[in-house]
A and B are shown apart, each in its own frame.
Chain A
């Protein structure tokens, strides 16, 4: 029975489609290293975002559910402008050309990072796309979501606000 349930969960995992699976809480897990490239080639790590809540989204331009949630990430960026939230979309195992082809059709205001060899995808143990991680200001993983969601409303907004609420008053 346990194996059957696990396999069912796996089927949902690998076919992350139209419905958000719900946020999984993590007990302040230290985040794996992130060593990615910006579109122009500059290296980027998580250290650059320390002191902010980070929404790290693993996606790919060929993945329909990933593309469905992108507009809501952009709306979230606009809604949270001026607040200590960093939205980072890490493209999994594609070339800059693939990503730029998508960005020519969808203007996004948050940073897009590249992981052309998939090394970050493996380090973060991402097996389905999209997968998103919410990190607190100290760089610890607090929530994981496999599958898409509407980021600027509902449960997603609640968990982001809960992490922002942990920050000192002047930073929120």
Chain B
């Protein structure tokens, strides 16, 4: 009987773990938890360093590299193949930590994060705040044609802030992106990151300013965590 009980416990523990993606934890004692979902290019060293700095400043970070976790090619389309239930369970698990949860998703990783948030119970979604770094939410975006957005689900109650590097082809399209998210029910905001390009922390030929900013991503994120949208 005791053996059966232990087996049952093991099953519960395994079941709970199996629903969560494999992520890297940067523990901290503070009340804030940042869920960092890296882009379709995978986790980079400057992102790891920023997570370590955040943890030292009291912000716990759970870093999720979707392409490595699910053995996916480094392509935007890979983000559309991420098991949503895993991600939804991960968000619930973060909420259950009792900390104030903010999700930071980069590029196409915004798609599974938004879809997972859409699957949450409204009360949980209301508590969540998303920071999306130059999100790519398009199904198709071709010259001379109106952009076509992916189906993301209902985002009512969700707070979303887009962090947009100024030096990006997506910058002129930021108002349309914000309008689209608003139509889905999200409360939206934006922050323009001046003199920076997309993926500025991982550029082959970065400018001096980009190098400096990639070393202070922690400060940029803390500023956003403390700003109106995600406070």
Listed in ascending order, the chain A residues whose CB lies under 8 Å from chain B are 3-4, 6-11, 13-14, 26, 29, 32, 60, 62-64, 92-93, 117-119, 121-122, 124-129, 131, 133, 141, 144, 146
- Contact residues, B76-96 vs A (CB, 8 A): 76-77, 80-81
Query: With a CB–CB cut-off of 8 A, which chain B residues contact A129?
Result: 169
Do A14 and B146 touch (CB < 8 A)?
no
Listed in ascending order, the chain B residues whose CB lies under 8 Å from chain A are 40, 75-77, 80-81, 108, 136, 138-147, 167, 169-173, 176, 197, 205
Q: How far apart sit A32 and B216, CA to CA, in the bound complex (Å)?
A: 42
* Shortest distance from the beta carbon of B202 to any chain A beta carbon, whole Å: 13
Q: How far apart sit A131 and B144, CA to CA, in the bound complex (Å)?
A: 11
- Which of A4, A121, A122 has a CB less than 8 Å from the CB of B80? A4
Do B173 and A122 touch (CB < 8 A)?
yes
Do A26 and B144 touch (CB < 8 A)?
yes
Which residue of chain B lies nearest to A128 when distances are taken between CB atoms in the complex?
A: B169
Do A92 and B172 touch (CB < 8 A)?
yes
Which residue of chain B lies nearest to A4 when distances are taken between CB atoms in the complex?
A: B77
Q: How far apart sit A79 and B32, CA to CA, in the bound complex (Å)?
A: 62
Q: How far apart sit A116 and B175, CA to CA, in the bound complex (Å)?
A: 15
Query: With a CB–CB cut-off of 8 A, which chain B residues contact A128?
Result: 141, 169
Query: With a CB–CB cut-off of 8 A, which chain B residues contact A7?
Result: 75-77, 80, 139
Query: With a CB–CB cut-off of 8 A, which chain A residues contact B145?
Result: 125
* Shortest distance from the beta carbon of B172 to any chain A beta carbon, whole Å: 3
Query: With a CB–CB cut-off of 8 A, which chain B residues contact A127?
Result: 138, 141-143, 147, 169-170, 173
* Shortest distance from the beta carbon of B41 to any chain A beta carbon, whole Å: 10
The 6 closest A-B pairs by CB, nearest first: A118-B172, A7-B77, A62-B167, A127-B141, A11-B76, A121-B172
Q: How far apart sit A141 and B143, CA to CA, in the bound complex (Å)?
A: 11
Do A10 and B173 touch (CB < 8 A)?
no
- Which of A6, A122, A144 has a CB less than 8 Å from the CB of B140? A6
Do A126 and B75 touch (CB < 8 A)?
no
Do A11 and B146 touch (CB < 8 A)?
no
